[in-house]
Amino acid sequence: MTEPTAIAALRTHLAHHIVGQAALVDRLLIGLLTGGHLLVEGLPGLAKTTAVKALAEGVHARFKRVQFTPDLLPADLLGNEIYHPETRTFTFEAGPLFNEIILADEINRAPAKVQSALLEAMAERQVTVAGESRKLPALFLVMATQNPLEQSGTYPLPEAQLDRFMLHVSLSYPERQDEYDILARTLAGTLGRDDDEATGLTVDEVLNARADVRAVHCDAALQRWVVDVVAATRAPEKASDALESLAGMVLVGASPRGALAWVQSAQALAWLNGRDFIVPDDLLELAGDVLRHRLILSPKALVSGLSRDAIITRLCAEIPFP
């Protein structure tokens, strides 16, 4: 069983590389402890790539960074059957998806065929090449970065693929003091440098820790509240009279997979905080990250300037805990 001190050492390792993004560090650990994929959105220069690379180093996992571009092909992810004319045989050359932690950098710049190939890997933990299905590693995580859609050359991800991400983390600029620390530590050569051995955490220990996380208790009353909120994302006006103003604002709400991801991520957050049970604050802290990418707003909502985060906040506030 992985001791909490090993995870604490990993958190310290990440803190040596990432300044001013404490929520991102926690979300990376949640993804690691649940096996859930992460989508990290933010403007360039906010340490998205650095964070994922630091996580892979801390776990001593096989890591591969893939730069998503408009000319990327599915074979660039999956691999190829290579023909050997001298023996008239084929051998399979594995692509980058056969590593344990994958950084899909700028994922929303790639074409639809590439997204489709990645979807099978994320959903089934396997890929199909030349008609043969091949299993991916037990510790298989996709940590994708995405630039805001307002930037040139970006495209919306398919809804089915978005739903496969456990969390959608939205980054903002760091506070001024944090930004100063980044500058000062970079100039001093101390940013990203561990004084001691970063962490002794191994892939096998992470897989064992996932069993501990799954054992974290979620009270039945909290489970019903999660289901009520998720159902309210589809028809807010049916959940409470106070939410009638949201009628027609959401075209598509969260799926049952969203409710499951919400509880699973809250289990990991509770475990990271030293508890074997979920409290309401765990669910509230993760509500936006779990649900925002699962909502499709109507033109009415877009015209009125209503955001997905604002809707989620209202739902959590108006639907009382049992």
Beta-carbon contacts of 305 under 8 Å, excluding residues fewer than 6 positions away, are: none
The three-state secondary structure class of 50 is: helix
pLDDT at 196 > cutoff 50: no
In order of their start, the domains of the chain are 4-189 (3.40.50.300), 215-318 (1.10.8.80)
Alpha-carbon Rg for the chain in angstroms: 21
pLDDT at 35 > cutoff 70: yes
Pick 178 or 304 by higher pLDDT. 304
**Interval 246-252 mean pLDDT:** 92
Which letter does DSSP use for residue 47 in this model? S
As a whole number of angstroms, the distance between CA 121 and CA 134 comes to 10
**pLDDT tens track for 93-141:** 999 999 999 999 989 888 888 888 899 899 899 998 878 889 999 999 9
Looking at mean pLDDT, say which of 14-28, 73-87, 219-233 comes out highest. Answer: 219-233
pLDDT value of position 265: 98
Phi-psi region of 125 (alpha: psi -120 to 50; beta: other; left: phi over 0): left
Which letter does DSSP use for residue 273 in this model? T
As a whole number of angstroms, the distance between CA 246 and CA 235 comes to 8
Pick 201 or 133 by higher pLDDT. 133
The three-state secondary structure class of 195 is: coil
Is residue 231 a contact partner of residue 223, using CB atoms and an 8 Å limit?
no
Distances from the Cα of 179 to the Cα of 14, 22, 45, 183, 237, angstroms: 17, 14, 11, 6, 43
**pLDDT tens track for 48-89:** 888 888 888 888 888 999 999 989 999 999 998 888 888 888
The three-state secondary structure class of 321 is: coil
pLDDT at 29 > cutoff 60: yes
pLDDT value of position 16: 79
pLDDT at 46 > cutoff 80: no
As a whole number of angstroms, the distance between CA 294 and CA 300 comes to 18
How sure is the predictor about 210, in pLDDT bands with cuts at 50, 70 and 90?
A: very high
HSE-CB at 184 with a 13 A cutoff on CA atoms is: 7
pLDDT value of position 239: 87
pLDDT value of position 89: 87
Query: What does pLDDT average to over the chain?
Result: 88
pLDDT at 212 > cutoff 60: yes
Instruction: Give Cα 184 distance to the centre of its chain.
Output: 30
Is residue 283 a contact partner of residue 322, using CB atoms and an 8 Å limit?
no
**pLDDT tens track for 136-195:** 999 999 999 887 765 666 777 888 889 999 999 988 888 889 888 888 888 887 776 654
DSSP H helices, the chain, are: 4-17, 22-34, 48-59, 74-78, 112-124, 159-162, 176-188, 203-214, 220-232, 236-239, 256-272, 280-291, 299-304, 308-318
